[in-house]
Structure 1
Amino acid sequence: MLLKDFYSVESSREEDGKCITHLKINKNHRLYNGHFPNRPVTPGVILMQLFKEDAERRIGKSLQLKNANNIKFMAVVDPEIHNELFLEYHFEDNSQEIRLKGIAKTNEGISLKINAIYKLI
């Protein structure tokens, strides 16, 4: 986990070839002291990292981002309002890389769309 105590996994399952993970964000994490004071926002790079970490848990191997050619940040994730996040994605795994396509959602809708390629390390 890149940021200790930033989130916890509430549930994780596979359904119709899709990985679905329910995360609970720690709204009191020290990250929010600097991003931003009095108006906390979850950084986009952290949202991207959540997909990497979840995929690593599923396959039991470490990954390194190789290419992220299509990332769209759709809405702000304010931890005071959105302390639950849902990752929905599917991935293709070959012997050298993972191709992942997914969305991160709050209770209000989609926050992030991602297409990424990770190298197995």
Structure 2
Amino acid sequence: MIKGFKDFLMRGNVIDLAVAVVIGAAFTAIVTAFTTSVIKPLINALGGTETQGLGFEVVPGKESTFVDLSTLFNAIISFVITAAVVYFLFVLPMNKLKERRKRGEEAGPAEPTDVELLKEIRDLLAAQKSRG
């Protein structure tokens, strides 16, 4: 049972998809907090003390037209940090594992035998016959 589960996990892009969804969602909160609390104030400091931060007003004197560039930089930094963590902690190790399998150092997922495939076909045909 455990071997079958391992084979399922190692097949196709299951690992890539799981990593992207779970780790990306969980880690995004941490990165967003870091960039909002630490990076954005540092970027806004570049805008000077007379402004709302790093950016400009489309209509001078009207705060609702302020284009906040620090928010854009914040999003870019968040993306780069998240992508780096996902790549170095998950994608790179999985690629190394796949490479080791190609060289024959580690066994890959087991392929079903001819007998197992024939049994599966027999069971499917029996199920179709009982329905119809």
The TM-score by the shorter chain falls in which range?
A: under 0.3
Higher strand share: 1
Higher helix share: 2
Whose Rg is larger? 2
TM-score (norm 1): 0.24
